[in-house]
């Protein structure tokens, strides 16, 4: 009897605690939580409208560009550099090619070979391999490859530093200080996985030679491993929009866009006038581009000039890359916004374009609205049915934005639905990185070099042609074979949250958002368990 009385007292106490918690929840729900969620809806709707107007504007401009704008060689003066037997190579300017590297075991031969095969007079071309590798064996291999090409009469220099201060920016800056660079007028930059075609310089350099106000020629990236898995197809869709629309619109309307860090040719005088390479953010390429633009220099994007490259094929590598690409621009915006506002050398509307369109909408709002609206606020309206989201904000505008985003990769239109879900998952990391950049917190200067695998997959498939002792791609891809090592707990947590919201909506049957919520939670679970890089397209 005594035990029963004690149990009844405990149950009563628990009931009292539960009742008190329920009462506290009801007390703060109506006056505090619901208004906060409602404010979140209003803010997200405002950001959605900003993104919608931006996408619509760029969609209209790109149609006008394709229909009515003249081709780059018609808008600007362009004449091929003539091969003159009598004059020899004197018609050709001195060009420097820089290839920054860091432990690039899989791709160093590809990039060096592509640079050495560029169609340009050997006595007017200097190739500079900037090797920041920390692995002595890889450094030896890269140096031997440079010596091999040098023995064939190629002007190639192998450069190393005592430290990695400034990372890529530091290496490029150090390379321009070499005495043998003083005669070079232009510098072409290729990351270690980029493979320019032999005629790259002959197509790009004439724009710089005959147009003294152009500082940068940017080529388009093409991806050799886009069909490797579903994750690489999703990356291709996002980057194709960037090149097909964003770069093209910026080039055609304001002669400005962010340098992509590779597959471009700079006028060295413009680099020097802009203050040279700086390592204050992880987007040294964008930093230089903005500073050069503020000094009146123009940029030209050539969509027909394409360079093969490689996409990250592991989620870990892709996530680190996206952190750098999201954190860096936000941090650069924080550092440069007042400098842009105060600048007197560029037109008012160009400053509006750079601050509002280039930075605020594309680099900040686009990430935040995707995550907060579709992965946080919208699911919360299931828990708080008092908060309503208009249909135009939850369905119509997102659908139009998605369709506009898909124009860059028509061949992947059937993957559009998967792309939406994947982009929503990645918006979690992009938003986190953007906030770190804006607040200049924690990992703001984190730089992890993107892992490159080169032709490892091809070599695995063609084992007969594989040299003994080389590691197949499968071995590289299995570095996180244990389940606990490949799990991403942040994604798993959001997957559980969305699944719970989906179940609640399914049971209540009010909004019918549960279809989206279940599919989105499944996407978070797939990424959370580390399987996104293994799903075939």
| Residues 462, 251: Cα–Cα separation, whole Å | 42
Through-space distance between the first and last CA atoms of the chain, rounded to whole angstroms: 67
At residue 217, the 3 state secondary structure works out as strand
Cα dihedral 362, 368, 369, 374 sign: positive
What secondary structure letter does DSSP report for 227? Answer: T
What's 265's DSSP letter?
Answer: E
Residue burial 346-367, b: 16+ Cβ < 10 Å; e: rest: beeebbebbbebbbbbbbbbbb
Nearest to 139 by CA among 149, 130, 148: 130
Annotate 104-155 with DSSP letters as a single string.
-TTTHHHHHHHHHT-SS-GGGEEEEEEE----HHHHHHHHHHHHHHHTTT--
For the chain, count helices (H), then strands (E): 23, 7
Is the Cβ–Cβ distance between 40 and 369 less than 8 Å? no
Q: How far apart are CA 331 and CA 78, in angstroms?
A: 37
Q: How many residues belong to the chain?
A: 537
Distances 86 to 91, 153, 209 between C-alpha atoms, Å = 11, 22, 21
Count of CA atoms in the C-beta half-sphere (13 A) of 87: 10
- Catalytic residue positions? 132, 285
Nearest to residue 246, comparing CAs of 397, 41, 59, 412? 59
Cα angle 428-219-139, degrees, rounded to a multiple of 5: 75
Distance of alpha carbon 521 from alpha carbon 394, whole angstroms: 17
Rounded distance between C-alpha atoms, residue 53 and residue 1, angstroms: 73
What is the three-state SS of 425-482?
A: HHHHHHHHHHHHHHHCCCCCCCCCCCCCCCCHHHHHHCHHHCCCCCCCHHHHHCCCCC
Cα 25–chain centre separation: 42
SS3 state of residue 308: strand
Which of 191, 224, 189, 195 is CA-nearest to residue 110? 195
| Spatial contact of 156 and 114, defined as CB atoms under 8 Å apart | no
Q: Which of 516, 333, 515, 297 is nearest to 439 (CA)?
A: 333
Please report, for residues 182, 187, 407, the alpha-carbon distance to residue 179 in angstroms, rounded to integers and kept in the order given.
Answer: 6, 15, 47
């Amino acid at each position: 009897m005594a035990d029963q009385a004690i149990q009844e007292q405990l149950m009563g106490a628990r009931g009292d605690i539960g009742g008190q918690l329920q009462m506290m929840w009801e007390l703060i729900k109506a006056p505090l939580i619901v208004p906060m969620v409602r404010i979140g809806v209003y803010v997200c709707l405002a950001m959605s409208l900003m993104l919608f107007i931006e996408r619509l504007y760029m969609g209209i401009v790109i149609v006008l560009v394709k229909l009515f704008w003249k081709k780059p060689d018609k808008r600007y003066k362009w004449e091929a550099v003539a091969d003159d037997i009598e004059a020899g190579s004197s018609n050709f300017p001195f060009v420097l090619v820089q290839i920054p590297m860091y432990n690039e075991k899989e791709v160093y031969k590809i990039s060096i070979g592509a640079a050495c095969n560029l169609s340009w007079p050997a006595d007017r071309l200097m190739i500079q391999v900037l090797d920041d590798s920390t692995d002595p064996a890889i450094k030896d291999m890269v140096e031997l490859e440079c010596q091999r090409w040098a023995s064939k009469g190629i002007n190639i220099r192998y450069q190393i530093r005592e430290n990695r201060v400034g990372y890529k920016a530091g290496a490029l800056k150090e390379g321009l200080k070499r005495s043998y660079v003083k005669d070079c007028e232009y510098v072409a930059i290729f990351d270690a996985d980029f493979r320019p075609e032999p005629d790259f310089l002959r197509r790009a350099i004439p724009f710089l030679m005959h147009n003294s106000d152009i500082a940068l020629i940017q080529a388009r990236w093409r991806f050799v491993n886009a069909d490797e898995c579903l994750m690489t197809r999703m990356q291709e869709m996002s980057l194709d929009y960037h090149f097909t629309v964003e770069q093209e619109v910026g080039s055609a309307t304001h002669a400005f866009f962010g340098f992509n860090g590779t597959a471009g040719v700079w006028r060295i005088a413009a680099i020097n006038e802009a203050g040279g390479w700086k390592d204050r953010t992880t987007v040294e390429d964008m930093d230089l581009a903005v500073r050069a633009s503020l000094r009146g220099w123009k940029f030209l994007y050539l969509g027909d000039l394409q360079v093969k490259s490689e996409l990250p094929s592991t989620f870990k590598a892709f996530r680190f890359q996206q952190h750098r690409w999201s954190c860096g621009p936000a941090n650069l915006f924080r550092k440069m916004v007042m400098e842009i506002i105060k600048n007197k050398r560029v037109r008012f509307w160009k400053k509006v374009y750079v601050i509002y369109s280039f930075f605020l909408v594309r680099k900040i709002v686009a990430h935040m609205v995707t995550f907060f609206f579709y992965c946080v606020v919208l699911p919360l309206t299931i828990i708080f049915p008092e908060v309503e989201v208009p249909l135009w904000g939850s369905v119509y505008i997102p659908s139009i934005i998605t369709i506009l985003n898909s124009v860059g990769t028509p061949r992947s239109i059937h993957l559009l639905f998967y792309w939406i879900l994947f982009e929503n998952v990645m918006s979690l990391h992009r938003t986190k990185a953007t906030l770190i950049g804006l607040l200049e917190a924690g990992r703001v200067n984190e730089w992890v070099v993107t892992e490159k695998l080169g032709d490892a997959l091809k070599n695995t498939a063609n084992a007969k042609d594989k040299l003994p002792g080389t590691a197949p791609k499968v071995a590289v891809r299995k570095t996180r074979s244990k389940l606990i090592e490949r799990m991403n707990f942040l994604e798993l947590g959001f997957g559980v949250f969305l699944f719970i919201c989906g179940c609640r909506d399914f049971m209540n049957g009010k909004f019918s958002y549960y279809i989206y919520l279940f599919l989105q939670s499944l996407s978070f679970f797939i990424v959370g368990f580390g399987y996104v890089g293994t799903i075939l397209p």
